[in-house]
Amino acid sequence: MKNGKLDQSRAPIYEALERFRKMRVVPFDVPGHKRGRGNPELTRFLGEQCVGVDVNSMKPLDNLCHPVSVIREAEQLAAEAFGAAHAFLMVGGTTSSVQSMVLTACKRGDEIILPRNVHRSVINALVLCGAIPVYVNPEVDHRLGISLGMKREQVAKAIEEHPNAVAILVNNPTYYGICSDLKAIVDMAHKAGMLCLADEAHGTHFYFGENLPISAMAAGADMASVSMHKSGGSLTQSSFLLAGPNMQEGYIRQIINLTQTTSGSYLLMSSLDISRRNLALRGKEVFKKVCDIAAYVREEVNQIGGYYAFGKELINGDSVYDFDPTKLSIHTLDIGLAGIEVYDTLRDDYDIQIEFGDLGNILAYLSIGDRWRDVERLVSALAEIRRRYQKDPSGMLTQEYIDPEVVVSPQEAFYADKESLPLMETEGRICSEFVMCYPPGIPILAPGEKITGDILRYINYAKEKGCNMTGPADPDILCLNVLK
């Protein structure tokens, strides 16, 4: 402890694993590969150092389900680094973190206010617990075809019409970098006696950078799910769940333990520990570089012509209260190509893998590992794609978001008696499953929503353009399950 603060240069799980490695303990426990000796191909692929610390919970290494030593210390360090009262290491991805957050706040029959452009993990949580969504349908930027944030007056109206709702959930930010007025929404929620939850899957850097949008904990939110593996540098599937001072730590842990594995991966946990240390010590410096790279690329892309790399100019003080400057979101329709077509071309012809392409936009995810020479290559490829493939944009579908009509709760629809019908014969019926493009994983249809002609046209168009469609029981999405 330094000056009453915890020593952020510590990484207790990593340190314990290093001590354990030197002890040369003979393993008669799981995992069965026994430090890699039983699976030489895996050891050659991952390396002895990696498989040697793929170990089971034991006294020297603590237990994720009930941490009392090194994991507990790592969580306390994380809580301080993120400005939270409590932090929980999550090894089931931010999906697990989001679901634990919602399950902590809601039970069967409770109402929760949320934007419809949430990740599927939020609606999955409603399927699990039986809570009822009250959607605040976000405004849409019709030029870009993207959904924006929640307007303050929309949230106030939802609170007035649903005074018994238990929580409000906010994306901070959206996949495209759009931020709602989180502090105002937190204040409105608390004044109404509701919790405020934040899906910060794409907002880890808000806690460590400068001149970035406000983080959930700084805004006074009650809980936040932070995808450390996205912009924070930890291994895929590792995440944090943060909680404010008014939340019961023990109850949250019980909720987490309902669904999270009892065999927490020490590879994932140590990566969270080491990455938290890195950001606590060097976060301002590394995220300044990310912002500088993003600003440079945004300017270069906009000079190509035809593309629109949008940024802080979208801010309007309400539905776009702030913008995440690290998000390199680029509108492509003006060159006559859907975002997914640019995405595919970058990968297939230029060996450049970006985060996603949808019907009108692409997202190149910039973070702490990016290099100047790599972003120069991206800019050059985009310029060449425009030169080689540009065409007339007329007739292209622009709308990325269609307001849903919710008829029954997600849980009721998911478990209801259902029948499978050919896709184009489902208009007017109630869907009992999800349909989405992944990424970004925001449902086009969710259980309990009415299937409309616009939605069916959107699904077919997305399939034709090559979007990666997921969700239904039928992998080819030729049929949909609907309520009988």
Res. 158: pLDDT tops 90: yes
Q: What is the mean pLDDT of residues 134-151?
A: 89
12 within domain boundaries: no
Q: What is the mean pLDDT of residues 395-418?
A: 85
469 within domain boundaries: yes
**What is residue 354's predicted lDDT score, i.e. its pLDDT?**
97
**What is residue 400's predicted lDDT score, i.e. its pLDDT?**
64
Give me the CATH number covering residue 422: 3.90.105.10
> Rounded to whole angstroms, how far apart are CA atoms 174 and 139?
13
47 within domain boundaries: no
Q: How much is the mean pLDDT over the chain?
A: 94
Distance of CA 150 to the CA centre of its chain: 17
Choosing from 250, 265, 280, the residue where a domain stops is 280
Give me the CATH number covering residue 238: 3.40.640.10
345 within domain boundaries: no
Res. 348: pLDDT tops 70: yes
Of 64-78, 129-143, 246-260, 285-299, give the lowest mean pLDDT range: 129-143
Choosing from 280, 310, 339, the residue where a domain stops is 280
**What is residue 399's predicted lDDT score, i.e. its pLDDT?**
63
179 within domain boundaries: yes
**What is residue 155's predicted lDDT score, i.e. its pLDDT?**
97
Structural domain of 416: 410-483
pTM: 0.94
Query: In the block, which residue shows the tokens 């694993």?
Result: 17
What is the side-by-side order of every strand in the sheet holding 356-357? 308-309, 327-331, 361-365, 356-357
Query: In this structure, is the dihedral angle defined by the CA atoms of residues 67, 68, 70 and 72, taken in order, positive or negative?
Result: positive
CB atoms near residue 474 (< 10 Å): 14
261 within domain boundaries: yes
**What is residue 404's predicted lDDT score, i.e. its pLDDT?**
84
Query: For a pLDDT cut of 70, what percent of the chain falls above it?
Result: 98
Q: Please state the domain count of the chain.
A: 2
The answer to whether the CB of 467 falls within 8 A of the CB of 340 is yes
387 within domain boundaries: no
Choosing from 280, 301, 317, the residue where a domain stops is 280
> What are the E-state strand segments in 221-360?
223-226, 239-243, 308-309, 322-323, 327-331, 356-357
